[in-house]
Structure 1
Amino acid sequence: MKKTKNIPNTWEWVTIKDIAITSSGGTPDRNNASYFKGDIPWVKSGELNYNTIVQTDEYITQEALDSSSAKVFTKGSLLIALYGNTVGRMAFLGIDAATNQAIASIKPFRINPKYLYYYLINSKEELLNKREGSAQPNISQKVLNDFSFPLAPIEEQNRIVERIEELFSELDKITAELNEAKTKANLLLRALLNNSFSNVNTYFDIRKLEDLCENITDGSHFSPETTLEGFPYITVKDVKNDRIDFENCKKISEESFLKLKISGCSPKFNDLLFSKDGTVGKVVINDYKSDFVVLSSLAILTPNQNKILPQYLFYYLKSDLFLNQALNSKRGVAIKRIVLRDLKKLKIKIPTNLNTQLDIVTKIEEGFSNINTLIEEIASKIHSNDNLIKKILKDAFQGNLSSRLNTDTSVKILLDEINTEKTEYLVQQHEINKSRPKFKKVESESLVHIIKKNFMSKSFSFHELVDKAITTNSEFEKEFDLLMSENILSKMYDEKSKSIKFRLK
């Protein structure tokens, strides 16, 4: 194979198919519920996350195995997701298990499996760049088989893996210490916030929230049709890190916006937004100088600035002193939402003097600035560790992480041993397959029928659809690409799951 990158002269560029056998799984007929009441572990691509799989979400029967293209892969097998949102993710099997067709098993011969694993992690971007398919690019088995692989002597592979894991272990300890420091810094932020209000003990009053605001309302109770361009339509998920994410929020038409603005769903400058539904307790001050509207899960608070500073109210709403009120009902049961009438009755501990409020805000912001600087420094060090991991892997597969010994097995001898072992394995598998019961192929449902049956009026991810299909990889991919090219499916980015999803038009 032509050398594409620098490697030591004792190594050789080969392909995955030269050193391993790849095989994909299958899905038993979903219409037969009894197939999924067995004791054979069955892995789906969503379960692959650079882990060792010792249990699965679903188990199938021997009959399901015999009646489908699913097959059991042995403990220690390296699995890789071929397509969908998890494409390129890997895991080792810690048990014998079958898989669905979105997963390929890689069985190497006389290769250190972790050497292969770390190499594929190092080469993930290069591998993903070779994806095929117009609608949902995927890694085919052909792409995987033809992917280049730097074959080093087995003894050197072992030394490389040992050194990688030694360095990673040291980095893991450092990263754990940094994350612990980051956690403590965040706890300091909360302590600073809570102490700032706990110490308000002179010249203060306790007032209901509704007494301190000119108006408290909420957003729209119906969802208008969204458009590609238009006015921002803000929901709870758009409130992030005390800011509103206008860049990625939904948009609505001018007509819809004007209707909602008239009904009071449009915050004014310096109004506060408080999430009262879903993730209760997100707070932001509106410093956006253009118009937008909000969903009913957000309350709109207009502070009476003769009584309370918007910044004081902002920090108080973020404190545990307030959130503990908001998140507990009168019976002390934790709740996931708070209705507007209850929100209005919640109490605020407040200095009657606005200058005292300003002093408290100033001290909070000074403390926050110092602690946030520390958190940013910690985050930067964690990011540096991530970059160091990439450098370690890059060095490893250029031969810069290990020594070479004259006693190492030559790559030529190693390749001969691999070919011998592969041949013996294929002969054994041929004999096993001859004695395996011939399954009657279940006639495949069309993807449109599967979508209507399982996802009617709902969005779905690629691997969720794969999980419902029974067809082979190639048949599935062809039909899916056809649905996309004929504009039968729409494609969108789902902010909640941070992934691509599809919907039947």
Structure 2
Amino acid sequence: MARGKKKETLTPEERLQAALIPESEQPYKVPENWCWVKFGTVCKFENGYAFKSERFTKNQGIPVVRISNIVDNSIALDDCVYTTEIDIDSKYIIHNGDLLIAMSGATTGKNGIYDSDKIAYLNQRVGNIKVIDQTVLDPFFRNFYISSAEQQILNSAYGGAQPNISSSKICDMSFPLPPLPEQQRIVDRIESRFAKLDEAKQKAQDALDSFETRKAAILHKAFTGELTAQWRKEHGIGMESWEKAILKNVCKVNPKKIDTNGLPDNLEVSFFPMASLSEINGEITEPQTRLLKDVKMGFTNFSEGDVVFAKITPCMENGKSAIIGELINDIGYGTTEFYVLRCGEKLYNRYLYHMVRDITFRNKAKSVMAGAVGQQRVPKSFMENYPLNLPSVPEQTEIVRILDDLLAKEQQAKETAEGVLEQIDLIKKAILARAFRGELGTNDPSEESALELLYANV
């Protein structure tokens, strides 16, 4: 019986050539003492294990790292599942410093460092990218490279709406390999620059996180009279001028529909679905035009100057409310999930608008919502009987003037902070792009080429 052919053994030179990226396929030029290699030459890839979900527990056993645990370039174990399975191959054990990556779904390519000495297991569709030899590749250099390649990895995924990436795709990526000392200098330079950016990012994030708190404080001052203390002093009146009332006594909640008898069915009117209300700035952003015959039954009717307030979850909690502006043929309709609030002579509509958008009002409304989960609504009785401490209309007008000014400044500060965060992310991407081109000013051309190091270790 003939024996099979013995597997051909490659020489070191042949193995090196197999590891290198041909010059014609190299993405861009790098310093002379760098070399382009296949990523799988310097890193090995471990796929996760398909654990039995029926063996998952909330807090007993060994934690299992899933895609959802990869958060902000780290691994969050505070919301992970555990398994009681113990007969697991050691290759599925995660170690401190391992780089984990999402292999499927909308977040394909997101990655994070496991920074814990606790034993944890690798779940399916999570990959573990391990450095083969730390005398060739610095793990921190690997981390920054994969972080920079996140979008590239997602773009190379397959599967349409549910993208997937294979380990072979990642291992075949072209990887710029500098000499080890240069890798470490690059890591130091990146960390130094990122530290300064992270300090600025934290300040911008703090400003962003405190936006709602600052806004709530301003509104509290408005509805307790603090904003207009000077105005009252100038007008010779005190807080005794404020009257106690309930909303239905100064405002109609869902007033009667207008009489459309005699109007042609093909009359064009304004129509506002829930999606047309911006929860960010309380404006109507996408008004529609409908024919009267299509909306006069089964929809909510309103007039110019009315305040509309979303009564259903989660639209109410998100602050969907607006003042109705100019309407086509002076007629407007919208979803029945709006409460229509029509102010009487003692209530200025812009004052009411600010009041119902205030988090204090919405929190009280949320506490009384009723109905099935996902379909909870604010009862009409809550709206009608909501207690007010109401200033005069001239003072309401002054409060609105001050509020509009202060809230506009706060919104501008928020947008500035958001812009800073976006800019910082762009700067970080630019730093990484330059780092992997050898453009950070750290390269020493007299150092031994990475090719020599690779030859000695492949």
TM-score, with structure 1 as normaliser: 0.67
3-state SS of paired residue (2:300): coil
Q: Does 2:305 correspond to 1:270?
A: yes
Q: Which amino acid aligns with 1:382?
A: L
Q: Distance in 2 between matches of 1:43 and 1:257?
A: 52
* Corresponding position of 1:358: 397
Partner of 1:380: 419
CA, structure 1 residues 155+295, in 2 after alignment: closer, same or farther (shift >3 Å)? Answer: farther
Could you list the per-position Cα deviations for residues 118-176 of structure 1 after superposition, in whole angstroms to 9, with x for gaps in the alignment?
11222222222212234533212221111111111111111111111111111111222
Q: Does 1:341 pair with 2:381? A: yes
Is the CA contact (8 Å cut-off) linking 2:253 and 2:383 kept in structure 1? no
Query: What is the alpha-carbon distance in structure 1 between the residues aligned to residue 181 and residue 433 of structure 2?
Result: 19
Q: Which residue of 2 is the match for residue 25 of structure 1? A: 48
**How far apart in 2 are the matches of 1:103 and 1:163?**
30
Are 2:67 and 1:45 equivalent residues in the alignment? yes
For the residues of structure 1 that align with 2:207 and 2:348, how far apart are their CA atoms? 33
Show the counterpart of 1:84: 105
Counterpart of 2:151 in structure 1 is 125
1:16–1:263 distance in 2 versus 1, CA, 3 Å? same
2:181 aligns with one of 134, 155, 159:
155
> Hey, what's the Cα distance between the residues in 2 that align with 1:276 and 1:192?
24
Structure 1 residue identity aligned to 2:334: V
Query: Which residue of structure 1 lines up, in the alignment, with residue 283 of structure 2?
Result: 243
| Cα deviation code 1:338-375 (max 9, x no counterpart) | 422122101222234x3333222222212323333333
- Aligned residue for 2:221? 195
**Residue from 334, 343, 346 that aligns with 1:293:** 334
Structure 2 vs 1, CA of residues 44 and 289 (structure 1 numbering), >3 Å: closer, same or farther?
Answer: farther
Q: Distance in 1 between matches of 2:205 and 2:95?
A: 36
The Cα RMSD (Å) is: 3.6
Rounded Cα–Cα distance in structure 2 between residues aligned with 1:276 and 1:88: 39
Aligned length: 390
Gaps of 5+ in 2: 1-20, 229-238, 257-270, 369-375
Residue identity opposite 1:340 in structure 2: K
Residues of 2 paired with 1:99 and 1:107: CA distance? 13
Deviation of 1:264 (Å): 4.8
- Distance in 1, Cα, partners of 2:78 & 2:365: 39
- Look up the equivalent residue of 1:6 and give its one-letter code: K
- Which shows bigger deviation, 129-138 or 43-52? 129-138
Larger radius of gyration: 2
Mapped partners of 2:142, 2:68: distance in 1: 21
Q: Contact between 1:7 and 1:399, CA under 8 Å: does it hold in 2?
A: yes
> Equivalent residue for 1:98?
121
**Whole-Å separation in 1 of the counterparts to 2:70 and 2:336:** 36
Say if 1:41 and 1:97, in contact at 8 Å, map to a contact too. Answer: yes
Aligned position for 2:167: 141
Asked if the contact 2:101–2:111 (Cα under 8 Å) also holds between the matched residues in 1, the reply is yes
Q: Is the deviation greater in 16-25 or in 234-243?
A: 234-243
Cα distance in 1 between the residues matched to 2:240 and 2:91: 72
Matches within 5 A, 1:253-264: 258=295, 261-264=296-299
* Structure 1, unaligned runs of 5 or more: 219-230, 330-335, 420-505
What letter corresponds to residue 294 of structure 1 in structure 2? T
2:386 counterpart letter in structure 1: L
Identity score, percent: 24
Q: Deviations over 1:413-464 (max 9, x none)?
A: 3213442xxxxxxxxxxxxxxxxxxxxxxxxxxxxxxxxxxxxxxxxxxxxx
Distance in 1 (alpha carbons) for counterparts of 2:215 and 2:56? 53
